[in-house]
Amino acid sequence: MTTGPVHGTWEPLPAARWEDAFLSGNGHHGTLVFGDPNADRVIVTHHTLVRPNGGESARPPQLAAELPALQDRLLAGDRTAAEGFTDGRPLQWVQPFHPAFQIRLRRPPGDRHDYRRSLDFATGEATAHCDGWSSRVFVSRADDVIVQQVTATDLTLDIRLDHRLPGAPTGLGVGHGALRIPEGAVLSLHARYPGSDRAYTGVTLVATGGGTTTLVPPGVRLKGGESVLLLTRVRRHTGEPAVVEEARALRDLLTEAPGPRSYEDLLDRHLSLHRTAYRRVTFDLATDPAERALPGSALLEHPLGPALLERLFAAGRYHLLSASGLFPPRLTGLWTGDWNTAWSGAFTTDANLNLQTASAAAAALPEVTAAQAELIHRQLSDWRDNARTIFGARGVVAPAHTDGESGLSYHFSREYPLHLWTAGADWLLKPLVDHEETSGERDPRTAAALAEVARFYEDFLTRTDEHGHLVVVTSYSPENRPANGSWGAINAAMDLSAARHALLTAADRHPEHAATWRALAGRLPPHRVNADGALAEWARPGLVDTYDHRHLSHLYGVWPLEEINPYDTPDLAKAAHRALELRGSENHSAHGHLHHALIAARLRDADRVAHALARVLEGDFFHASLMSAHYPGRDVYNADAAHTLPAVLIETLVQSTPDRLVLLPALPAAYPEGELRGVRTRFGAEIDLAWSPGGAMAVVRPTRTHRIDLRTSSGAQPLDLVAGEDRVLTLRAR
C-alpha cells in the first residue's frame, strides 16, 4: 500500500499521441517518450530550436518622434488615436519553437503482456516494461545529455533518427549520417532551415551490450544483444555541423576516468541535482492509498478527487523544474511534437510565463528563477532598443512576446498593440525580487535591471493631469480595451501599479536615486473605483470597463504585487474583489481561470478559488502525460495550467511578504485535511503546515531574526522569529 503522496504517474498502455507521451527535461534538452516496446519513439526537443521566419531580423518600430503628438491626441479625448501608432508593417510572429526529430526504435512485432509505463518525478525517468523488455529515459542535468537504455533477452532493434514530424517544412534540408565505432555506432541528423544559413544537428551515440551491430543507413541494427545505451545531444548553429566533435564528447562521457560509465552512473550524477530540487516541497491531501495508486488517466476521470490534485501538484513542480534551465518554460514548456506550435510556442510575458513561474520562490525552485534571470539578462540590450526606438526614453521596456533569441518588440497589430505595453519589465523582474527576499541575498544584476526600469519611467512619465498627477500615456491593459475606447488608452491600472512598484523597488536598492524615484512614484494617480463599485481597469475617468475577458491585468496590484490587500488597503481590496466578481472568463483559457484563482486567494475568497479550480479540473484540460491544454477538451497543448496549479494551491495555504505571514487564507472546503511541507517565505523561513477539521499546526524555521505580522482566521498578532529557532504555531478551528 502507498503510504504517502505518489511522486510519479503511470499508464497501462503506450502513448498513442505525442500529447500523452511522458516528459523529461533539464531546461535545455527535452524528451517526449511513448514507451512502445515494438515501435518506440522518443521525440527530442531543445529550447534553442526556433524556425527562422523573418523574426530573426525584425526590429521595433521607430515611433519615438511621433509619441508626443499621440499623447496630445489621447489627452485631448481622441480615444482611438493609438490605432495609428504604427509603421504600417504586417503582423510578424516571433520564430516558432519546434521539435528536433524522433529517435525510432523498432523490434520484431510481438505480444505485450504485463505492460506498464511510468514517470518518476523524483528522478526524471520515463520507463516502460513488459515481457522482459524495458526502456529507461532521462535528461541529465549534470551532463546535458539525453540518456536512454533498452534491455531485453536476445535484443534485436533497429534505431534511426527521423525528422518526419507533423508540420515539418517541406523545404527542410535533411542529411543523415551513420558511423561504426568500437562501442557500437554514431548516428547524426543535420537539418538546415529553408532559405536560411541556420541549422541544427542531432548526434546519438549507440553503445551496445553484446550482439552484432550493423549499419543500415540511415540507421543501425543491433541483433542478439542484451542492451543498448543511447546518448543524444542537439545543437542549433550556423555553418557546418561538428558531428565528430560531438560524438567524441558523448563517447568521453562513457569512457573518461575513473572508468567506463553505465546508465546508473550517469543517472547518479543527474540525481544529485534533480532529486534534490524536486524533494524540497511536498503536498499531501491524506488521500486513500488505493486511489493514489491509480494511473493518471483514471484519476482524470474523477477530476475533483484529492488524489488527482496531489498528483497534479507534484507533476506541476516536476514539469516546471524540467522545463527550466537555459530558459524558463515556453508556452509549451520545453516540449512539442508538432512544428505548428500555437502562438509560436514562444514566451508570452503579459500573463503566461508570469503565471507559470509564479510558484518558483514559495515552491523552493530557485532553478526556475535563475532560468528567468538568464532570459532577462541576455535580452536587456534589446529591451533598451525598445525603450529608445518606440518611446524615446532611456532604460528598458520588455516585449510581450519573445522567441528567446530576440527581446525586441516587433510582434504587434491593431488588435494586439503589444508594443505599447510598458509594464512587462516589472512583472518579469518580480520573481527575481521575490527570490532575493526569500534567500536574503541580493543580486547586483537584478538591482541594475531595476534601475533601468526606473530610468525608463523617469523619461516616459512627463505628462500631468489637471490634479498634478502624472499620466501614463499611452497605456495598455493586456489584452483588453475599454468598452468605449480602443486598446491604446490612458492610465491602465496595471501600468500604474507596475510603475509604482518598479520605482519604489529600484529606490530601495539605489539610495543615491531613492528620493527622485520615490517622488515620481508618489505623483502617480490613485486607482479608480467605478460606478459598479469595482476597481476600474483604467483609472482615467470616462473609460468604461470591459468585463468579459480572459486577462485580469487590472488586478496586478493584488497579485503578484501586494499593493492592494485586505489588511493595509481594505477599501481597495473590496473594490478589487468586486472587479473579480464581475470578470468573465471569455474563452475559458486555463490561464484565465488560474489567474482568477490566484487573485481570489489573495483576497481570502476560498469559494471563488474552488470555483476557478473546478473549471480547470472538470474542463478536461489535462493529457495523460499530466501536461495541460490551453482550452477545455484538451485543445492546444500548453503548459499554463500544469505549471501554475502549484502556485494556486500554495497561495490558498501560505502567503508571505517580507513582513507578513498569512496561514490558511483561502483553503477550499473540499480539502479539509493535508500537509504542505518545505514551502519558503519571503521573510526567510521554511514552513511545514498541517491542517485538519480540528485545526492546524505550522512549524516555522527561520533563517533570519525578524518580527513579522501573523495573520490567521483568528486575527492578527506580531510574531518574533529568531534565526535557527523553530516556532510551532497552533491554530484552532473556528
Q: Is the pLDDT of residue 246 over 50?
A: yes
Residues 6+ apart with CB under 8 A from 145: 29, 139, 231, 232, 233, 250, 253, 266
* 596 grid coordinates: 482568477
What is the pLDDT averaged over residues 551-568? 98
Q: Is the pLDDT of residue 3 over 60?
A: no
pTM of the model: 0.97
Q: CA–CA separation, 138 vs 392, rounded Å?
A: 48
DSSP category for residue 525: P
List, as one string, the DSSP characters of 201-241. EEEEEEEEESSEEEEETTEEEEEEEEEEEEEEEEEEEESS-
Q: Is the pLDDT of residue 111 over 60?
A: yes
What is the pLDDT averaged over residues 78-100? 97
What is the pLDDT averaged over residues 440-459? 98
The radius of gyration computed from the CA coordinates of the chain, to the nearest angstrom, equals 26
pLDDT digit string, tens, across residues 170-212: 999 999 999 999 889 999 999 999 999 999 999 999 999 999 9
Helix (H, G, I), strand (E, B) or coil at 554: helix
* 248 grid coordinates: 567524441
pLDDT digit string, tens, across residues 496-509: 999 999 999 999 99
Helix (H, G, I), strand (E, B) or coil at 510: coil
Domains annotated on the chain, with CATH: 8-49+99-279 (2.70.98.50), 303-675 (1.50.10.10)
pLDDT digit string, tens, across residues 271-327: 999 999 999 999 999 999 999 999 999 999 999 999 999 999 999 999 999 999 999
Residues 6+ apart with CB under 8 A from 264: none
C-alpha distances in angstroms, 587 versus 549, 590, 591, 630, 644?
8, 9, 11, 10, 18
What pLDDT is attached to residue 255? Answer: 87
Q: Which residues pair with 206 in a beta bridge?
A: 185, 230
Residue 499 CB neighbours (<10 A): 25
Angle at 598 between CA 593 and CA 602, to 5 degrees: 145
C-alpha distances in angstroms, 716 versus 602, 655, 657, 660, 709?
16, 14, 15, 10, 7
Length of the chain, in residues: 734
List, as one string, the DSSP characters of 633-684. TTEEE-SHHHHHHHHHHHHHHEEEETTEEEESSS--TT--SEEEEEEE-TTS
Which helix (H) or strand (E) is 383 found in, with range?
helix 366-391
Q: Is the pLDDT of residue 726 over 90?
A: yes
Beta-sheet strands, E only, within 294-451: 347-348, 401-402
Averaged pLDDT of the chain = 96
pLDDT band at 2 (very low <50, low <70, confident <90, very high): very low
C-alpha distances in angstroms, 464 versus 41, 387, 473?
61, 20, 10
pLDDT band at 260 (very low <50, low <70, confident <90, very high): confident
Q: With beta carbons less than 8 A apart as the criterion, state whether 247 and 205 touch.
A: yes
**Amino acid (one-letter) located at 466:** E
Q: With beta carbons less than 8 A apart as the criterion, state whether 162 and 228 touch.
A: no
Q: Count CA within 13 A, CB hemisphere, residue 302.
A: 13
pLDDT digit string, tens, across residues 583-633: 999 999 999 999 999 999 999 999 999 999 999 999 999 999 999 999 999
Q: Which residues pair with 538 in a beta bridge?
A: 492
**Amino acid (one-letter) located at 232:** T
pLDDT band at 110 (very low <50, low <70, confident <90, very high): confident
Which position has the grid cell 479540473?
Answer: 617
What pLDDT is attached to residue 666? Answer: 98
Of the candidates 144, 151, 131, 164, the one whose C-alpha atom is nearest the C-alpha of residue 41 is 164
What pLDDT is attached to residue 257? Answer: 62
* 397 grid coordinates: 521596456
Q: CA–CA separation, 261 vs 311, rounded Å?
A: 33
What pLDDT is attached to residue 734? Answer: 61
Of the candidates 343, 371, 345, the one whose C-alpha atom is nearest the C-alpha of residue 357 is 371
Of the candidates 419, 341, 404, 431, the one whose C-alpha atom is nearest the C-alpha of residue 630 is 341
What pLDDT is attached to residue 1? Answer: 32
Of the candidates 174, 227, 228, 222, the one whose C-alpha atom is nearest the C-alpha of residue 202 is 174
Q: CA–CA separation, 14 vs 126, rounded Å?
A: 12
pLDDT digit string, tens, across residues 637-662: 999 999 999 999 999 999 999 999 99
List, as one string, the DSSP characters of 603-615. TT-HHHHHHHHHH
Q: With beta carbons less than 8 A apart as the criterion, state whether 488 and 82 touch.
A: yes
Classify burial at 580, counting beta carbons within 10 Å of its beta carbon; exposed 0-12, middle 13-18, buried 19 or more: buried
**Amino acid (one-letter) located at 34:** F
pLDDT band at 261 (very low <50, low <70, confident <90, very high): confident
What pLDDT is attached to residue 5? Answer: 78
pLDDT digit string, tens, across residues 5-56: 789 999 999 999 999 999 999 999 999 999 999 999 999 999 999 999 999 9
Q: With beta carbons less than 8 A apart as the criterion, state whether 330 and 347 touch.
A: yes
